[in-house]
Amino acid sequence: MPLTVEGLRVVQEASADKPIVDGVSFHLQDRSLTLLIGATGSGKTTLLRAISGLVELAEGKVCYDDKPLWIKPGKADRTQLLRQAISFQFPEHQLFANSIAKEFAYSLKPYRLDRKERLLRSEAAMCDVNLSNVSLNGSPFALSGGQKRRLAVATALSTRTPWLLLDEPSAGMDGRSLHQLKEHMCQWKQAHSIVMATHDWETFLPIADRVLLIANGRLLADLQPDALLEQPELLQQAGVGCPASLRVTHALQQVGIVSSSKLYAPEELAESILHAHANAGSGLSAASATDASWSSGECADLHTYHSDETSSEPSDNSSDNQVQRKWVYRQLAGLKWLMYTTLSFVILFMNGWWGAGIAMLLACGSFMLLTKQDVRQGIRLSRPLLYFILIAGTISGLRWTSGDWTSIFDLQEAMLTVRRMSRFFAITLIGFVFTLSTSTAEMKRGLERALRWGERVLPIEMISLAAALILRFVPLIVNEAQRFSVITAARGKKLVKQGKVRLRDVHVFVIPLLLSLFQMVEDFITAMEIKGHRPKGERK
């Protein structure tokens, strides 16, 4: 079942003029291993997600077996969705169930298999990833990090989809695991067609059938692995670094041993060196070798290229942040605190619809002070709250009077709840404006100033930095939530709008999210300790 991608273009909602993936077309054959190579931010992940139907296309087509994945905008063909399984970056983060069998059950659910078949597939998949000695009844959380990752990949394998899409399956792996993965990959290739985004392409190149080089969202090259070895300049253009083999080639070019710039296999290079050596022995000395001025920076050209590349990275809001910050961003944190508190009190003391209206106007008004990007962020943050208010209103409006079906919903009661809550909503919105417009350090300084009186008895530094970080934590939670909602959608094979989760999938989403947030908190605490923010006397 071949995969055809034609004129693919994916844009981010907000910045339509800067596509993440643009004009990408390729055609991949059955039972092949395709490597997707590109620098960070080049669009590899987005491309994979587009192929798997997780992001909507702005233009172009994705076809499995000549049948399009998308029937119409916003609606993908379900049978086509079932033809591929995707494994995300750090797949071990996606585990949620209290038994390994349940992990498989969740991934296999869309395929509507009977119990026996499910068990059979789960066992086979566990075998495929060398976990056959682990019981399906065990908890996935009792596994080691490497085992967790293999389990997560196994859940994708168990779907036995013709296409397997892997996003950085080898990130952070030790040498031995990397080698194992390569062996597994050879095996999986027998049953699946694989597209894999990877930075460890040197390891996988020997077993790959095809290479797609991506740079800045565009397809830079589509070629055979051998062809890539002949054209190392493509790697340079893609900004994916200078592999050890190319470095050696450069070093040998400098001393006149090899002439062509390509990626040699060790045996091949040894052959060329021996050849040069033999020639030197017979008097045909490599003239340039003797007077070659030695420099250790033979890859310097690549380095400069890369640093250029990274510094010119797209940053959609540099103008907002660097040149002249908007008014509200320039104010003192303490002053903002004061204004926020005052406004909150005013809003709390206002009554009736008038009060609620004014509160909302104040909230919206203060949003106008933010930069465009922060407004978007703020709206994203406030959406769940809005839903919460509507649901709360609906529930409070429900009347359980037996027999009387006409008065099942009391609108007045519901509106009262909404009105009351909308004031708190407004206060929260203004709170977002405060958080988004104030940096961690500013907030920390403000708090420090306010808390100065307690310096003797309290670790003020620590408290204020922690408080500031908690406020900054909110946007990170939102990002993580989005990441896991996509994963949940992919595993359940249900097309849910990005950033949303079906109610019955909540546990699939919440458990990994919480685990990941705990990890982040731990990381931040470690970072604070590294910076020296720790209780006095503890450090040796």
Partner 1 sequence: MINESILSVTDLSVSYWDGPVESIVVESMRLAFAKGSWTAVVGANGSGKSTLARAMAGLIGIRTGSMEIATGNRIHIVLQNPETQLLGDTIREEFELSLKHRHAAAHVTTHDSQLLNILKEAGLQMPLDTPIHQLSGGQKQLLNIACCLILEADVLILDEATSMLDPASRELVLSLIRRLHRNGKTVIWITHRTEELVYADRVLLLEQGKIAFDDSVRQFCYGNTDDTVSPCEQHGMTLPYVVQVVRQLERRGLQFGQQPLHPEELGQAVAVLCR
Interaction residues for partner 1, span 168-227 (CB under 8 A): 171-179, 199, 203
3-state secondary structure at position 371: coil
Report, in angstroms and rounded to the nearest whole number, the Rg of the chain calculated over CA atoms.
29
Contact residue for partner 1 among 412, 530, 535, 537 (CB under 8 A):
530
Closest distance between partner 1 and the C-beta of residue 248, in Å? 4
Q: How many residues bind partner 1 (CB under 8 A)?
A: 83
Check: CB of residue 179 under 8 Å from CB of residue 154: no
Q: In the complex, what is the shortest distance from the CB of residue 37 to partner 1, in angstroms, rounded to a whole number?
A: 9
Give whichever of 222 and 461 is closer to partner 1, judged by the CB atom.
461
Pick out residues in 20-39 that bind partner 1 (CB under 8 A).
39
d(CA 512, CA 309): 34
Q: Which two tokens stand for residue 386?
A: 């809005």
Going from the C-alpha of 31 to that of each of 5, 78, 197, the distances in angstroms are 17, 22, 17
Footprint of partner 1 on 457-496 (CB under 8 A): 461, 465, 469
Q: Measure the N-to-C terminal CA separation of the chain; round to a whole number of Å.
A: 63
Instruction: With contacts defined by CB under 8 A, name the span among 99-107, 119-127, 405-413, 530-538 that binds partner 1.
Output: 530-538
Name the segment binding partner 1 (CB under 8 A); options: 217-225, 381-389, 412-420, 436-444.
436-444
Q: Which of 250, 195, 182 is nearest to 35 (CA)?
A: 195
Decide: 468 and 443 in contact? Cβ < 8 Å: yes
Q: How far is the CB of 342 from partner 1 (least distance, A)?
A: 25
| Between 294 and 405, CB nearer to partner 1 | 294
- Residues between 255 and 274 that touch partner 1 (CB under 8 A): 255-257, 266-267, 269-270, 273-274
CB atoms within 10 A of CB 373: 15
Nearer to partner 1, 31 or 303 (CB): 303
Copy the structure tokens of residue 133. Answer: 């000695």
Only one of the segments 11-19, 105-113, 233-241, 397-405 lies at the binding site for partner 1 (rule: CB under 8 A); that segment is 233-241
Select from 19, 239, 446, 492 the one that contacts partner 1 (CB under 8 A).
239
Closer CB to partner 1, 135 or 307, in the complex: 307
Cα–Cα dist 8/69, whole Å: 12
Subset of residues 145 to 164 that bind partner 1, contact rule: CB under 8 A: 145-146
Name the minimum Å distance from CB 293 to partner 1: 12
Distance in angstroms (rounded) separating the CA atoms of residues 49 and 217: 13
Residue list 318-337, contact with partner 1 (CB under 8 A): 318, 321-322
CA gap 471, 428 in Å, rounded: 12
Identified binder of partner 1 from the candidate list 127, 227, 244, 458, rule CB under 8 A: 244
The CA distance from 236 to 525, in Å, is: 38
* Complex with partner 1: residue 171 or 368, whichever CB lies closer: 171
Check if the beta carbon of residue 62 is closer than 8 Å to that of residue 53: yes
Compute the least distance from the CB of residue 65 to partner 1, in Å.
33
Q: Among candidates 443, 442, 438, which has minimal Cα distance to 327?
A: 438
524 belongs to the binding site for partner 1 (CB under 8 A): yes
